[in-house]
Structure 1
Amino acid sequence: MSTDTGHNSSSGTAAWMLHEPERAIDWVHRALHLSVMAAKQVVAAYYYPTTQTGPHHSYSYYAGCSTGGRQGLAALQRYPADFDGVLAGSAIPWQTHTSAWHTYAALLQYPASRSTFIPADLWASLVAPAVLEQYDAALDGVADGVIMDPSRCAFRPEVLLCGKSGGGKANATSGDCLTRDQVLNLKRLDGQLINPGISPSGEAGFASLMNSAEPLFGPEFYRNAVYNDTDWDWRTMSAASVAFADAVNPGGANAYDPDLRPFEAHGGKVLHYHGYADPLIPSLNARIVGRAGDVDKFYWLFMVPGIGHCSGGVGAWALDGAGQGGFPLQVNGSSHSLLSSLVDWVESAASAAGNKSSAVSNP
């Protein structure tokens, strides 16, 4: 099943949440939960029309990416019996902080006349190659355009400074170096006070986030869901804005509760993945969900080199995950599919434990 989560809108706008707290709740978790309950009833009525008790469907699975990844995490935290397996990709568990980061990261980009502004074409033509030059082969000995573990990188953007050794020509108009102000702009993106900063990888895709008319997604969320004020100026974003958003937490948008014991007790399993080259959701957001005790029995996190946001990128990104456009796998089965791997994990564990001899009851 799938759901529109209670609203119909074009991509990139959150105007439907303006003065609509109930829609925010639907978007965050309620619409998915109620749709799942209805879907289970439909399955039971269609396939088992004469059975009032006893076996119905045996397993229920979820797959989602981006907002869908967050909704998957919210589901297993809030409704631990809804799914036996959850496949969550490129999730945004810290919605209020990631939306703030989207806004804050671009503050020195606007207007384009600012000395700190980095033109859209330089992300792919200048910044990304400089990052690869520093860390591609240095980390794994192979120059293949993929940074295997950006968490081990400490990118030094000073190498791009005009007039410096390795910084190209002595003036910024050539397009092969950055001014001092532009370098400072680039350095401030790698912070962790409000939200994990960008990992060195995927800079070629940053233009979509950093060079739109206004920052993507962040201002829309704050304007319509947090402040309920269409006149709110995103240029006023501050730590106080984030604290206010945390207090409001529209619809319960943050899904970072690390206590997953009810889901574990239900026998649930989680495969959580995030692309290291994600230009939209900094990859270290995936590590906000806590780890404690013997968590590997039911929760696995995979940080995937070279993958962008849900799909695409220079890495091997066809994982059979949500949001991958139905990209056909070259080999079927769990060796090439996260979804199949999740199914195998859930059902083999249940078979070994003997706790699925009878199927899940009709909700």
Structure 2
Amino acid sequence: AHEFSTSGRNATGGVGVIPDIPGVETPTVDICLVSLSYTHPGQQDLVNTYIGLPLDAKDWNSRFLMHGGGAWYAGGESSILTPVLLGYASSSTDGGHGINASTTDWGLTSDGHTNWPALRDFSSLAISEAAVLGKMATRLYYGSGAEYSYWHGCSTGGRQGHAMAQDHPELFDGIVAGAPAISWDKFAPAGLWGPVLAQILDTQPPQCVVDAFTKAAVEECDGLDGVTDGIIAFPGRCNFKASSIIGQTINCIDPNGNVTITKDMAELISGLWEGPRSAEGQSLWYGFHHDSSLASMIGTSCSSTKNCTIAPFSVAKDWVNTFVARNPEFSIEGLTRQEYDRLFRQSVDRYTSLIGTSNTDLSKMKHAGTKMLAWHGMADQLVPTNGTIDYYERVTKLDADVADYYRLFLAPGVTHCGFGPGFDPAETVFDTMRAWVENGTVPDRLEGVAVAVGNSSATRTGNLCPYPQVFTYNEGDVNDAASFTCA
């Protein structure tokens, strides 16, 4: 038995916030912690699973909850703490590798081939097994099973949630999947597009220049929704061209100096907004909305305004080096567009079925009675929002009644897994899911919280809309939720 306490909301950034829910002060609770280590015969893997149970049955709310991971972190002991402190039984898994292990530590065999069992563990197998083990331990410990079982994750956790919905929906009554990094086979290599294109164009603009493009786009497109609040609510209407600010001079502080925007700089930014394209001009994956920060996709470090280097997005670099090139020392230096195309297609060809997590057949989930709420910030700077929209639309084509069990909410102005100037639903989405599962309250709206217009110390709320409805300003006080509607 151990005693833990925690409070507040985790805002670690990076790919995948491990969210506290619902973001309130939590008490100190005695916990029964069970640790299991096991291997799959013949696979030479080692998976660690952690199960947490409120020590006293009176502290258990008769429910089971798992938290998702982030980036290459499948989960671990720390992931069970917040659920248990809130009264849930919980479990988590390291997915077969520790939090500090690099992908080359576990992703390749000694002879340089893909370690398929290890990748399968991380992708979904260890997750489903942790759910089975956690629910089994819950039943054994309390003498009865959980009345309701939930998944709550974002980014990698959102992908894990979709994996459970696609393959093991019977394990959960409700799944919350934020900013899901699904289509991982495409999303991951797409993260190298910025540095590759910068190299092809031979331009490495300092971050102040990159930010200037984003700022100019927001200034032009902010008011298209009728409200000037730093949010591009209608990205499809934003026709801002990066080329429109060619020739402007940007006064940079770090590094110090003036930089004149060039045609190549504008082409680089346009390429990130558009998304990676093949040498023949075919779209490979989606780009980012105009108000998304591009710092992670083309993060630069400079000794002067004329001497900058671009660091690749770490998850994309790890993926390509370890699983596509299968060479820890692989570098994109000198990489041609044709070679990038080849790497991209190798990723898709090899890994779609294992970690793509993009199977649109959710009939198992429908028949299991499981509900899923997905949400995605429209200013996400790490996982392109349009990838999630694409998946939802493809599911809808297979089942016109998909909204009965699976709903997607888009959050204008919200960044990866929460925060930003927009209406952030991270603190309300889980309660919304519980109400849907336990009370039959269909989520026609999802409350988000944003900074008030004209008063940065206050907040305003807005009721986000289930896709394809659009969150739209109607008239009245912009800080009043009643001034917005779903159209």
**Structure 1 length as normaliser, TM-score?**
0.80
Of residues 142, 156, 165, the one that matches 2:241 is: 156
1:131 alignment partner in structure 2: 217
2:292 is aligned with what amino acid?
Answer: G
Structure 2 counterparts to residues 1-363 of structure 1, below 5 A: 1-10=91-100, 13-15=102-104, 16-19=106-109, 20-48=115-143, 56-110=145-199, 115-124=202-211, 126-137=212-223, 139-162=224-247, 167-168=248-249, 175=258, 177-192=260-275, 193-203=283-293, 206-211=294-299, 213-235=311-333, 236=335, 237-249=339-351, 252-289=354-391, 290=394, 291-292=396-397, 293-317=400-424, 319-320=426-427, 337-349=428-440
Going from structure 1 to structure 2, the CA distance change for 1:269 and 1:180 (only over 3 Å counts) comes to same
The answer to whether the Cα contact below 8 Å between 2:250 and 2:261 also exists between their aligned partners in 1 is: no
Which has the larger displacement, 260-269 or 182-191?
182-191
Residue type of the alignment partner of 2:267? L
Contact 2:188–2:319 at 8 Å: present in 1 too? yes
Relative to its length, the structure with more strand (as a share) is: 2
Aligned residues: 316
Could you say what secondary structure the match of 1:199 adopts? coil
Structure 2 CA distance for aligned equivalents of residues 154 and 101 of structure 1: 23
3-state DSSP class of the match of 1:91?
coil
Give the CA deviation at 1:5: 1.5
The structure-2 alpha-carbon separation of the partners of 1:221 and 1:256, relative to structure 1 and needing over 3 Å to count, comes to same
Alignment correspondent of 1:333: none
| d(CA) in 1 for partners of 2:92, 2:387 | 25
CA shift in 2, pair 1:9/1:283, >3 Å: same
Note the C-alpha offset of 1:232: 2.8
Question: What is the TM-score normalised by the length of structure 2?
Answer: 0.61
Q: How far is the alpha carbon of 1:3 from its aligned partner? A: 2.0
In structure 1, C-alpha distance between the alignment counterparts of 2:386 and 2:236, rounded to whole Å? 8
1:341-360 residue CA offsets vs partner (Å, 9 max, x unmatched) = 11111122399xxxxxxxxx
Distance in 1 (CA, whole Å) between partners of 2:103 and 2:258 is: 36
**Local SS of the residue matching 1:209:** coil
- Tell me the amino acid that sits aligned with residue 160 of structure 1: I
Offset of residue 200 of structure 1: 1.2
CA displacement at 1:27 relative to structure 2: 0.8
Measured after TM superposition, the shift of residue 89 of structure 1 is 0.7
1:97-137, Cα deviation, whole Å (9 max, x unpaired)? 111111122213359xx74222112233x112101111001
Contact 2:153 2:161 survives alignment (8 Å): yes
Q: Residues 80 and 118 from structure 1, CA distance in 2 versus in 1: closer, same or farther, beyond 3 angstroms?
A: same
**Conservation of the 8 A alpha-carbon contact between 2:188 and 2:316:** yes
Q: Secondary structure at the residue paired with 2:176?
A: strand
1:85 aligned partner, one-letter code: G
CA RMSD of aligned residues (A): 2.4
Listed one character per residue, the Cα deviations across residues 185-214 of structure 1 (whole Å, up to 9, x for unaligned) are 1112233511111111123xx223312533
**Distance 1:176-1:128 versus aligned 2 partners, 3 A rule:** farther
- Give the direction of change, closer, same or farther, for the CA distance of 1:256–1:175 in structure 2 (3 Å limit): farther
Superposition deviation, residue 152 in structure 1: 2.7
SS of residue matched to 1:207: coil
Whether the aligned pair in 2 keeps the contact of 1:122 and 1:175 (CA below 8 Å) is no
Bigger shift: residues 251-260 or 183-192 = 183-192
* Shift in alpha-carbon separation, 1:175–1:151, aligned structure 2, 3 A: farther
1:149 shift after superposition:
2.5
Deviation, structure 1 residue 226: 2.6
SS at match of 1:271: strand
Unaligned runs of 5+ in 1: 49-54, 321-336, 352-363
Q: Secondary structure at 2:92's aligned position in 1? A: coil
Which residue type is aligned with residue 402 of structure 2? V
Deviation at 1:177, TM superposition (A): 4.6
Identity of aligned residues (%): 26
Q: Structure 1 residue 92: deviation in Å?
A: 1.3
Residues 209 and 261, structure 2, Cα contact 8 Å, conserved in 1: no
Q: What is the Cα deviation at residue 227 of structure 1?
A: 3.2
| Structure number having the greater helix percentage | 1
Once the two structures are TM-superposed, the CA of residue 250 in structure 1 deviates from its matched residue by 7.4
**Cα offset, 1:168, TM superposition:** 4.8
Matches of 2:120 and 2:147, distance apart in 1: 29
CA distance in 2, matches of 1:282, 1:153: 16
Give structure 2 stretches of 5+ with no counterpart: 1-90, 110-114, 276-282, 300-309, 443-487
Query: What is the CA-CA distance between 1:286 and the residue it aligns to?
Result: 0.8
